[in-house]
Structure 1
Amino acid sequence: MNNRYKIELHVHTKYSHDSILPFWLLYLKCRICKIDYIAITEHNNIAGAKAFKKYCEQRGNKVNVIIGEEIMTNSGEIIGLFLKENIPSGLSPENTINNILKQGGIVYIPHPYDKKREKTVLLERYISENKEKIHCMEIYNGRNISNEYGRKQEQLAQKYNINGVIGADAHTFFEIGRNYMLVNIRPNSAIKFLKAIENKNIKMSKCLNFCHYLTKIDKMINFIRKGDIDGFCRIINKKFRKFM
């Protein structure tokens, strides 16, 4: 009988602007939930993934880290997995995808449909134009607040014949270990990852709505830490406008 490896994709830590999740707590939750492979995909940097990989290596490689980055293009977000170098934000989707491929990485489309996060959703025209270069797409995202979004995402993956994956999109301790895949092949390279996800079992859990509120608090904490009072005020003003 083949071994089963638990993979959790699309995870943020204190290296993202909207998370304060510390490494020790993430590592503890990974061990409790028996996560074998975790893809750290900070916003616009690979520093967090590289740092957490080193953290896990110092503890005996009981948790294996996939180096990733969630990159904001000029038309929505794209994730790169198995990266070696940081990819800058603000590029076109095509240039971002080509940069991922130059590194031998995996092109991964996160939350391709989400009405609550439209600013970060990659426009469908770019999925259509680059479908031959896209390796996988989320058919479910742990932060989708509506089941409709998951159905639409699965339809998009089928429409463009792109392999579907489950993305945790975890920013907090509470979200780790709730959305993952079980595979028979150890996904320790881009090629093996693609082979592994051809035959997978998936575990999906309903969005924890309160985690969206925690993320807003985390953003404010990070603004305060950096001394960015303008950023802090923008969030406060945005919340107040909803009640006016």
Structure 2
Amino acid sequence: MPVLINNVVFRDGVQVMRVDLHTHTEVSHDCRTPLRSVPAWMLRTNTRALAVTDHDQQRGGPELARIVADMGLDDRLSIIPGEEVTTSEGELIGLFLQERIPPKLTPEETAREIKAQGGLVMLQHGFDPLKRYRLRPEATARIAHQVDIVETFNSRLSRHHWNHVAAAWARERGLPECAGSDAHTLRDIGEAWVETPFRVIRTPESLIAALREGVVAGRWTHPVYAYGRKQWRTLNGRFRQER
């Protein structure tokens, strides 16, 4: 059983943390989560490493990293700059990006752009056929050799079954597995995670090592319920701001 001491979680005497590699913020067109609200929620949920993967935008990660540093938390929280890129055949995530990657490139071109920046290519959404922007199966097959990490738990898939399919695909190729909340509200952040021994993550190599030592877990939410909850949380947040 985990033990909580001064907001730090230990398991078998080892400090552990959660890693969520698929989140959205106010930088995304479909999300209103303020960047300044994220650090406190990360501490509250023990999500000590977070990838900011806004839709076709990269600036959210660096902006959040500056906020974390200004708060004196950069030795406790790790922010990974990323982007959920809209390719010509569906979405693909790049992690550790130095600059924005434009949309509508081919999947192969997008993967090459990610690698050129020293980043990691992450395949998200599993193989869910009902995910509107999932990478098409034929594109996934073509870039399989370029994938570095596979999201094997996404909280927003139509069925949990597709997470299992993604896990099998990753294990066949010996690829690291990760989890992503696909958060579009603040309270969604950390609903899917890899639990791993605590460390500060600054490089692709340190992330891969953390994932290899971790365990994938999370809470799956039916997308219809998740959409309704998102609308409620958004409206509730606006109401509180206006009071």
What TM-score comes out, normalization by structure 1 length? 0.81
Which one of the candidate residues 109, 121, 144 is aligned to 1:131? 144
C-alpha separation in 2, matches of 1:46 and 1:219: 23
Paired amino acid for 1:76: G
What do you get for the CA RMSD once the two structures are aligned?
2.3
1:15 pairs with 2:27: yes
C-alpha separation in 2, matches of 1:139 and 1:152: 8
Inter-CA distance 6–219: structure 2 relative to 1 (3 Å threshold): closer
Shift of residue 28, structure 1, vs aligned partner: 2.1
Shift of residue 57, structure 1, vs aligned partner: 1.1
C-alpha separation in 2, matches of 1:164 and 1:77: 18
User: Which blocks of at least 5 consecutive residues in structure 1 are unaligned?
Assistant: 221-244
Tell me how many residue pairs correspond in the alignment.
219
C-alpha separation in 1, matches of 2:16 and 2:88: 38
Paired amino acid for 1:37: A
Which one of the candidate residues 76, 96, 103 is aligned to 1:82? 96
Mapping of residues 44-59 of structure 1, within 5 Å: 44-59=56-71
C-alpha separation in 1, matches of 2:181 and 2:64: 17
C-alpha separation in 1, matches of 2:20 and 2:102: 24
Task: Tell me the equivalent position of 2:129.
Answer: 115
Task: Tell me the equivalent position of 1:211.
Answer: 226
Paired amino acid for 1:57: A
Task: Tell me the equivalent position of 1:4.
Answer: 16
The share of aligned pairs that are identical, in percent, is 24
C-alpha separation in 1, matches of 2:77 and 2:107: 31
Shift of residue 53, structure 1, vs aligned partner: 1.2
What are the superposed Cα offsets for residues 72-112 of structure 1, whole Å, 9 maximum, x if unpaired? 00001110001101100000000000000001101001113
User: Which blocks of at least 5 consecutive residues in structure 2 are unaligned?
Assistant: 1-12, 236-243
What are the superposed Cα offsets for residues 179-201 of structure 1, whole Å, 9 maximum, x if unpaired? 11122354320111112211212
Task: Tell me the equivalent position of 1:188.
Answer: 202
Which one of the candidate residues 137, 148, 151 is aligned to 2:161? 148
Shift of residue 159, structure 1, vs aligned partner: 4.0
Report the secondary structure of 1:6's partner residue: strand
Shift of residue 160, structure 1, vs aligned partner: 4.0
C-alpha separation in 2, matches of 1:135 and 1:40: 17
What TM-score comes out, normalization by structure 2 length? 0.82
1:164 pairs with 2:177: yes
Paired amino acid for 1:131: A
Runs (4+) of structure 1 exceeding 6 A deviation are: 216-220
What are the superposed Cα offsets for residues 110-165 of structure 1, whole Å, 9 maximum, x if unpaired? 11322332x31112222222222210111110111312221222233234443221
CA contact (8 A) 2:78 2:200 kept: no
C-alpha separation in 1, matches of 2:173 and 2:136: 14
Which stretch of the first structure deviates more once superposed, 155-164 or 11-20? 155-164
